[in-house]
């Protein structure tokens, strides 16, 4: 459980995180979405006590991170940039972290096996590929069997195999009842991984909703209706509270009524319907819509 309350971080004149409040609940994967520079990493660093909030608070399991005396047992973190001394072997890297929290050496072997790095445990970390580094990061995060797991951009730069591994691992951790908080700017990946999403742009909270709700609420969700009686059906639907417009490929875009209601209304008025399809916004579209005004650098589309 992570609770952020009015969290704000200012770097000089830049407001990186602006009055952000949210809860991350256990038992599900919560995605933390936003364009680059939206304040995701800064927020995660404040969760971990690496950066101090300008104002507001964030707690992990009810306490600020700095007040945990054996934090590896409470929260494990995989940070975006490598946080490993390249000259140290994977084994010694995990060992020194384990020792600092009084975790038995036996557990180092366990987590190495868990992430599939047992065979390269003696190799120095600088020789690791990006995928192996992410596995090592996750091994470190799991050392203390924490209730909260935090990952900053875990799939960045990974190959499909690595991405799938991260996804299944994080989903399995959430299924065990842990709080899993994952940031990403890759919408497609979040759609597969997260149950709940928190969307930020320019440091502000834009959405805090379940994945299903976010998809459904996207303004581009509509029903596509093909009918020879378009004008009459449109009038009926307007009366029922829907808005209609012409779809690019022909047919009618209906917003504001579910497909079953549209079908029923058409039948009641004896109107013919050749096609009735729910068109759901992709998370990508919903995300772009949400963050449209909050992207720092955007390529203007050629007109």
Partner 1 sequence: MTARLSPEMCAAAPPTTVGFGNVLRSEWTKLRSLRSTCWSAAFVVLATVGLGIFMGARWAHQSGPIPPGFDATNTSLSGTYIAQLIVGALGVLTITSEYATGMIRATFSAVPQRRTLLAAKAVVLALGTLVVAEAVCFVAFVSCQALLANKGVGVSLGDPGALRSVVGAGLYLTAAALLGFGLGAAIRHPAGGLSAFFGLLFAPSAIVDLLPTDWRNDLINYMPANAGSQIFTTDNVNGALGPWAGLGVFCLYAAAALVVGFVLTAVRDA
The residues of the shown chain that bind partner 1, judged by CB under 8 A, are 45, 48-52, 65-73, 75, 77, 79, 81-89, 92-93, 95-104, 106-107, 110, 113-114, 116, 140, 142-145, 165, 168-169, 172-173, 176
Q: Which is nearer to partner 1, 168 or 245 (CB)?
A: 168
Of residues 79 and 215, the one with the C-beta less far from partner 1? 79
Residue 77 Cα distances to 59, 92, 118, 242, 270, angstroms: 15, 18, 20, 46, 60
Q: Which DSSP letter does residue 130 get? A: H
Going by DSSP bridges, is the β-strand pair 14-24/2-11 parallel, antiparallel, or unpaired? Answer: antiparallel
Least distance from C-beta 88 to partner 1, angstroms?
5
Among 81, 97, 80, 74, CA closest to 179: 74
Smallest distance from partner 1 to CB 166, Å = 9
Beta bridge partners, 277, equal: 224
**Spatial CB neighbours of 171, under 8 Å, sequence gap ≥ 6:** 29, 193
Nearer Cβ to partner 1, position 55 or 99? 99
Contact 85, 140 (CB under 8 A): no
The residue (of 158 and 234) whose beta carbon lies closer to partner 1 is 158
Shortest gap between Cβ of 182 and partner 1 (angstroms)?
A: 15
CB of 18 to partner 1, least distance (A): 17
CB of residue 8 to partner 1, shortest distance in Å: 14
Question: Hey, which residues does 19 pair with through a beta bridge?
Answer: none
Residues 173, 193, 180, 170: is their CA dihedral positive or negative?
Answer: positive
Q: Which is nearer to partner 1, 144 or 251 (CB)?
A: 144
CB of 69 to partner 1, least distance (A): 5
Q: Which CB sits closer to partner 1, 98 or 211?
A: 98
Q: In what order do the strands lie in the sheet with 243-246?
A: 243-246, 252-255, 222-226, 275-279
């Amino acid at each position: 459980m992570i609770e952020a309350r009015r969290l704000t971080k200012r770097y000089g004149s830049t407001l990186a995180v602006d009055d952000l409040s949210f809860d991350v609940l256990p038992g599900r994967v919560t995605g933390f979405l936003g364009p680059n520079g939206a304040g995701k990493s800064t927020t995660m660093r404040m969760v971990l006590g690496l950066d101090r909030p300008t104002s507001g608070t964030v707690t992990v399991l009810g306490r600020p991170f700095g007040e945990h005396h054996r934090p590896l047992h409470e929260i494990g973190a995989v940070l975006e940039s490598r946080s490993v001394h390249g000259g140290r072997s994977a084994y010694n890297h995990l060992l020194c972290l384990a020792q600092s929290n009084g975790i038995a050496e036996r557990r180092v072997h366990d987590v190495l096996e868990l992430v599939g790095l047992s065979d390269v445990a003696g190799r120095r970390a600088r020789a690791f590929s990006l995928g192996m580094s992410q596995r090592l990061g996750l091994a470190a995060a799991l050392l203390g069997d924490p209730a909260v797991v935090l990952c900053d951009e875990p799939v960045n730069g990974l190959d499909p195999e690595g991405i799938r591994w991260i996804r299944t691992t994080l989903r399995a951790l959430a299924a065990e009842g842990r709080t899993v908080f994952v940031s990403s700017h890759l919408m497609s990946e979040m759609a597969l991984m997260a149950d709940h999403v928190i969307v930020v742009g320019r440091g502000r909270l834009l959405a805090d909703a379940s994945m299903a709700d976010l998809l459904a609420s996207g303004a581009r969700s509509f029903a596509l209706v093909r009918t020879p009686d378009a004008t009459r059906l449109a009038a009926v639907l307007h009366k029922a509270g829907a808005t209609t417009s012409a779809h690019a490929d022909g047919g009618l875009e209906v917003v504001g009524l579910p497909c079953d209601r549209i079908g029923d209304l058409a039948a009641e008025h004896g109107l013919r319907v050749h096609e009735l399809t729910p068109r759901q916004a992709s998370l990508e579209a919903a995300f772009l819509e949400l963050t449209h005004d909050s992207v720092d650098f955007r390529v203007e589309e050629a007109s």
